[in-house]
Amino acid sequence: MLNSRNWLYAAIVAAGGFAGGLTAMQFAPGDALAAHHHGVRILTAEEFELVDKNGDRRASLQVTSRGMADLMMFDGEGNDRAEFRVARDGGSSLEFFDTNGNQRIVVGETPPGRNGIAIYDKSGRQLATLSVAADNQANLTLYDANSGRARAGLGVSTSGEPALVLFDQQGR
Protein backbone atom coordinates (compact mmCIF):
# COMPACT_ATOMS: atom_id res chain seq x y z
CA MET A 1 0.00 0.00 0.00
CA LEU A 2 2.87 2.32 0.77
CA ASN A 3 4.39 1.55 -2.62
CA SER A 4 1.18 2.36 -4.54
CA ARG A 5 0.80 5.59 -2.58
CA ASN A 6 4.32 6.69 -3.65
CA TRP A 7 3.36 6.03 -7.27
CA LEU A 8 0.23 8.11 -6.84
CA TYR A 9 2.24 11.02 -5.37
CA ALA A 10 4.78 10.73 -8.17
CA ALA A 11 2.01 10.76 -10.80
CA ILE A 12 0.36 13.82 -9.20
CA VAL A 13 3.71 15.68 -9.05
CA ALA A 14 4.51 14.77 -12.67
CA ALA A 15 1.06 15.84 -13.89
CA GLY A 16 1.28 19.10 -11.93
CA GLY A 17 4.76 19.80 -13.26
CA PHE A 18 3.62 19.10 -16.81
CA ALA A 19 0.55 21.33 -16.44
CA GLY A 20 2.61 24.12 -14.82
CA GLY A 21 5.25 23.94 -17.55
CA LEU A 22 2.62 23.99 -20.27
CA THR A 23 0.92 26.99 -18.66
CA ALA A 24 4.22 28.84 -18.27
CA MET A 25 5.15 28.24 -21.91
CA GLN A 26 1.76 29.44 -23.08
CA PHE A 27 1.43 32.61 -21.02
CA ALA A 28 5.01 33.60 -20.17
CA PRO A 29 7.42 32.43 -22.87
CA GLY A 30 11.02 32.42 -21.78
CA ASP A 31 14.23 33.35 -23.55
CA ALA A 32 14.52 29.97 -25.21
CA LEU A 33 11.16 30.37 -26.91
CA ALA A 34 11.92 33.99 -27.88
CA ALA A 35 15.23 32.88 -29.38
CA HIS A 36 13.36 30.78 -31.92
CA HIS A 37 11.33 33.75 -33.20
CA HIS A 38 12.94 35.97 -35.77
CA GLY A 39 12.02 39.61 -36.39
CA VAL A 40 8.90 40.45 -38.32
CA ARG A 41 9.70 40.16 -42.01
CA ILE A 42 6.74 42.10 -43.39
CA LEU A 43 4.72 44.73 -41.60
CA THR A 44 1.60 45.92 -43.41
CA ALA A 45 -0.33 49.09 -42.66
CA GLU A 46 -1.99 52.00 -44.42
CA GLU A 47 0.15 54.50 -42.54
CA PHE A 48 3.28 54.42 -40.41
CA GLU A 49 4.20 57.18 -37.97
CA LEU A 50 7.58 57.79 -36.39
CA VAL A 51 7.52 59.65 -33.08
CA ASP A 52 10.25 61.06 -30.88
CA LYS A 53 10.74 60.10 -27.23
CA ASN A 54 8.01 62.59 -26.24
CA GLY A 55 5.48 61.00 -28.59
CA ASP A 56 5.55 63.91 -31.06
CA ARG A 57 5.15 62.92 -34.71
CA ARG A 58 8.40 63.37 -36.64
CA ALA A 59 7.69 61.37 -39.81
CA SER A 60 4.78 59.74 -41.60
CA LEU A 61 4.68 57.23 -44.44
CA GLN A 62 1.36 56.69 -46.20
CA VAL A 63 -0.36 56.16 -49.53
CA THR A 64 -2.74 59.06 -50.19
CA SER A 65 -6.28 58.70 -51.52
CA ARG A 66 -4.90 59.59 -54.98
CA GLY A 67 -2.47 56.66 -54.85
CA MET A 68 0.67 58.66 -54.08
CA ALA A 69 3.24 57.15 -51.72
CA ASP A 70 4.24 60.01 -49.42
CA LEU A 71 7.02 60.16 -46.82
CA MET A 72 6.69 63.36 -44.77
CA MET A 73 9.23 64.53 -42.20
CA PHE A 74 8.44 67.10 -39.52
CA ASP A 75 10.60 69.38 -37.37
CA GLY A 76 10.38 69.47 -33.57
CA GLU A 77 7.48 71.93 -33.78
CA GLY A 78 5.40 69.62 -36.00
CA ASN A 79 5.94 71.59 -39.22
CA ASP A 80 6.18 69.64 -42.47
CA ARG A 81 9.78 70.27 -43.60
CA ALA A 82 10.48 67.63 -46.26
CA GLU A 83 8.50 65.19 -48.40
CA PHE A 84 9.44 62.41 -50.74
CA ARG A 85 6.58 61.44 -53.05
CA VAL A 86 6.04 58.84 -55.75
CA ALA A 87 2.86 59.07 -57.82
CA ARG A 88 0.88 56.15 -59.18
CA ASP A 89 2.25 56.91 -62.69
CA GLY A 90 5.86 56.82 -61.44
CA GLY A 91 6.52 60.55 -61.22
CA SER A 92 8.51 61.43 -58.12
CA SER A 93 9.58 64.50 -56.19
CA LEU A 94 11.59 65.58 -53.20
CA GLU A 95 10.25 68.78 -51.63
CA PHE A 96 11.56 71.06 -48.89
CA PHE A 97 9.46 73.53 -46.89
CA ASP A 98 10.29 76.49 -44.63
CA THR A 99 9.04 76.88 -41.05
CA ASN A 100 5.86 78.55 -42.34
CA GLY A 101 5.00 75.54 -44.50
CA ASN A 102 5.87 77.23 -47.79
CA GLN A 103 7.41 75.09 -50.49
CA ARG A 104 10.99 76.31 -51.10
CA ILE A 105 12.73 73.68 -53.26
CA VAL A 106 11.39 70.85 -55.42
CA VAL A 107 13.46 68.24 -57.21
CA GLY A 108 11.37 66.05 -59.46
CA GLU A 109 11.03 63.62 -62.33
CA THR A 110 8.04 62.81 -64.54
CA PRO A 111 7.39 59.56 -66.46
CA PRO A 112 7.79 61.19 -69.89
CA GLY A 113 11.35 61.91 -68.77
CA ARG A 114 11.44 65.56 -67.70
CA ASN A 115 13.70 66.13 -64.69
CA GLY A 116 14.05 69.38 -62.86
CA ILE A 117 14.65 71.60 -59.89
CA ALA A 118 12.43 74.53 -58.90
CA ILE A 119 13.24 77.19 -56.32
CA TYR A 120 10.54 79.30 -54.61
CA ASP A 121 10.58 82.42 -52.44
CA LYS A 122 9.17 82.63 -48.92
CA SER A 123 5.67 83.40 -50.24
CA GLY A 124 5.66 80.35 -52.52
CA ARG A 125 6.33 82.21 -55.77
CA GLN A 126 8.61 80.42 -58.23
CA LEU A 127 12.00 82.14 -58.73
CA ALA A 128 14.01 79.72 -60.86
CA THR A 129 13.76 76.38 -62.64
CA LEU A 130 16.31 74.11 -64.21
CA SER A 131 14.95 71.24 -66.26
CA VAL A 132 16.01 68.64 -68.79
CA ALA A 133 13.54 66.91 -71.13
CA ALA A 134 13.61 63.27 -72.24
CA ASP A 135 15.26 64.32 -75.53
CA ASN A 136 18.03 66.12 -73.54
CA GLN A 137 16.83 69.68 -74.15
CA ALA A 138 17.94 71.67 -71.13
CA ASN A 139 16.71 75.03 -69.89
CA LEU A 140 17.12 77.47 -67.08
CA THR A 141 14.33 79.98 -66.43
CA LEU A 142 14.49 82.92 -64.04
CA TYR A 143 11.27 84.57 -62.83
CA ASP A 144 10.43 88.09 -61.66
CA ALA A 145 10.08 87.98 -57.86
CA ASN A 146 7.31 90.61 -57.98
CA SER A 147 5.10 89.48 -60.86
CA GLY A 148 6.05 85.80 -61.05
CA ARG A 149 6.52 86.09 -64.82
CA ALA A 150 9.46 84.51 -66.63
CA ARG A 151 12.11 87.19 -67.29
CA ALA A 152 15.08 85.23 -68.64
CA GLY A 153 15.53 81.84 -70.22
CA LEU A 154 18.65 79.98 -71.25
CA GLY A 155 18.36 76.73 -73.15
CA VAL A 156 20.25 74.19 -75.19
CA SER A 157 18.44 72.11 -77.81
CA THR A 158 18.96 68.42 -78.49
CA SER A 159 21.29 69.32 -81.37
CA GLY A 160 23.35 71.56 -79.10
CA GLU A 161 22.00 74.91 -80.31
CA PRO A 162 21.98 77.49 -77.51
CA ALA A 163 19.19 79.99 -76.95
CA LEU A 164 18.84 83.02 -74.72
CA VAL A 165 15.48 84.75 -74.26
CA LEU A 166 14.79 87.91 -72.27
CA PHE A 167 11.28 89.11 -71.41
CA ASP A 168 10.01 92.54 -70.33
CA GLN A 169 7.70 93.20 -67.36
CA GLN A 170 4.67 92.08 -69.40
CA GLY A 171 6.30 88.79 -70.40
CA ARG A 172 6.99 89.78 -74.04
Residue 3: the pLDDT is: 58
E strands present in the chain: 47-51, 57-63, 69-74, 80-86, 92-97, 103-109, 115-120, 126-132, 138-143, 150-156, 162-166
Query: Which backbone phi and psi does 28 adopt, to 5 degrees?
Result: -145, 75
pLDDT given at position 167:
92
Q: How many residues are listed for the chain in this entry?
A: 172
Per-residue model confidence (pLDDT) at position 112: 86
CATH topology of domain 47-166: Outer Surface Protein A; domain 3 (3.90.930)
* pLDDT digit string (tens) for the chain, length 172 residues: 555 566 655 656 666 666 666 566 566 655 555 555 667 888 888 899 999 999 999 999 999 999 999 999 999 999 999 999 999 999 999 999 999 999 999 999 998 889 999 999 998 899 999 999 999 999 999 999 988 899 999 999 999 999 999 998 887 8
By C-alpha distance, which of 128, 126, 131 is closest to 108? 131
**Is this prediction's pTM over 0.75?**
no
d(CA 28, CA 145) in angstroms, rounded, equals: 66
Q: How far is CA 52 from CA 11, 56, 59, in A?
A: 55, 6, 9
Helices and strands counted in the chain (H then E): 2, 11
How far is Cα 100 from Cα 79, in angstroms, rounded to an integer?
Answer: 8
